[in-house]
Chains A and B, each alone.
Chain A
């Protein structure tokens, strides 16, 4: 039996399971979506390799947004929550030691960004970004404040549902993914044109984190569970093509 030296190419992305790049209700997408078809080809080293990050990168409070911007230990204001889950690939395998980064608005829906001029105030003890590495089983967790909904200048009266932005690398540059976590029961999800860019309902549902009482801590925080699935690789005994990338 031949030893498998090549972990195989990335499974092609099923773009029907992703949002439409051109979605006129989300107005900014109109001028920012390519008109030409994407050029597809089997992945090669450029897509199958990717950056690795050591534990030395991560500071002690990097995954604790309640405290990581506080100068004197005063916790951020808002609903204290734990966000946790696993990073898996399409084959159901855990993705260990991969970087997960998040960013979000504060409890009032205001971002700590010079371009955000929403009238809700900043929280002096809340910065709104965090990062962590998954463990050997692909698990990650963040302690944070549940972000508020906020208005945005799209249609006449559009409001984003409460959400946390997530960025994940996986083990290769071709797995790179940015997405958004929504919260179970938020009535704004079904009114949001950014969420509606995803046509497949079960795919949109996969961005909604359920309340997870088992992982909440009494008298301290509630928990929400959010698993992330990245592209997998086709593992084959017959990787004998001589052509390709």
Chain B
């Protein structure tokens, strides 16, 4: 016999299902006024430092259909690369946003400030990025990915450097379409499949 390992096992994930919005985005689900304040309605408040940007896109399933029921959360640091809760963080950046694909068009919009580069363990820099977490009916465990920006130096980034198939790097990079505007599509499966992360 050996000593007992006193560790617990993480609770298993289950799909968020088709009605995830009633719990996490009540107003979007058609139930306004449920809470006096909804979680993650904007990642920035008035006066947030940095460039305000808008990222639009769609989430496609394996058939190429733009999903209408996806719910996405984003998490990011402020314009200086400091996360909420870390010392020196911009108090006007809460960092979290919940947004949904439009029920008619499947289009989503994330309005935020462009994040700064983040220092990694050991001081190495990561290129500016926004973390995403995608849940929906049919997704059994939330999908993690990142948005990078095509007008930044992404060659420094350790995570992007690890992608062996170089054409797949493009799936994580938002394309600038106009000043302050970017486009970022997410493909769950098949051709052009977005790189999803296990971190």
Contact = CB atoms under 8 A, between A and B. Distances in A.
Nearest to A92: B8
Interface residues of A, number: 92
Contact of A113 (B29, B131, B138): B29
Interface string B135-152: 111111111101000000
Interface in A175-197: 176-180, 194-195, 197
A14 B199 contact: no
Given A41-B197, A176-B133, A207-B12, A115 B140 contact: no
Interface size class of B (residues with CB under 8 A): 35 or more
Contacts of A216: none
B19 A103 contact: yes
B121 A12 contact: no
A245 to B, nearest CB: 4
Contacts of B9: 14, 17, 90, 203, 206, 229
A115 B137 CA distance: 13
A12 B35 contact: no
Give the residue among A18, A88, A101 with the most B Cβ atoms within 10 A. A18
Interface string A1-20: 00000100110111101111
B16 interface: yes
A32 B189 contact: yes
A114 interface: yes
Contact of A47 (B7, B13, B199): B199
16 contacts: A12-B198, A19-B140, A30-B138, A31-B63, A31-B65, A33-B62, A33-B189, A41-B199, A112-B31, A113-B30, A165-B16, A178-B16, A178-B135, A180-B14, A207-B12, A244-B124
Given A18-B10, A178-B142, 14 more contacts: A12-B198, A21-B139, A32-B139, A33-B189, A34-B143, A40-B199, A44-B118, A45-B120, A68-B34, A92-B6, A178-B135, A241-B121, A242-B122, A244-B158
